[in-house]
Amino acid sequence: MFTAEFKHVYSAQLNDNKGRIKMTNSTTKHEALATHLSLTPCQIQVADNTFRSGSEEYIVLGYDQAGEMALSKADDHIQQLLADTELPEILQKHINLDEAGNTLVEAKGKGHWLGTYDNQEHIVDDWHIYRVA
């Protein structure tokens, strides 16, 4: 019979079919980032909503929060493009601003909008990890 300690270590080592580490137990943001970086949680500093390991900074978000934040950044990008570009009024009428942000996030992925350092998204358990510096 497995001990609880062994089960915890073993469950943290499982990989899904995309090569991502999949935790079978409930983890915190801190623990998820530590797993991703192959560190212990005590090796990661926390400040506000940012995690730091050495000179590297990360944000760790839930699925819904990551989607909302990526959509917000994509929408801001579209608004900035429209403000900086003199599109003919006829073209502006044909741009569905409600869908444009969703389209950009789907096309480029959340990592493009949130992983400002390397445009990557890493998923550990249900946490989405983005390097920002």
Q: How many helices (H) and strands (E) does the chain have?
A: 6, 5
- Domain range summary for the chain, segments of one domain joined by +: 8-131
pLDDT tens for residues 83-99? Answer: 887 777 777 778 787 79
Q: Which whole-number Å values give the CA distances from 29 to 41, 95, 98, 116, in the listed order? A: 10, 37, 31, 19
Gap between the Cα atoms of 63 and 77, Å rounded = 21
pLDDT at residue 122, rounded to an integer: 97
Gap between the Cα atoms of 58 and 51, Å rounded = 5
Please state the pTM of the whole predicted model: 0.75
pLDDT tens for residues 31-77? Answer: 999 999 999 999 999 988 899 999 999 999 999 999 999 999 999 99
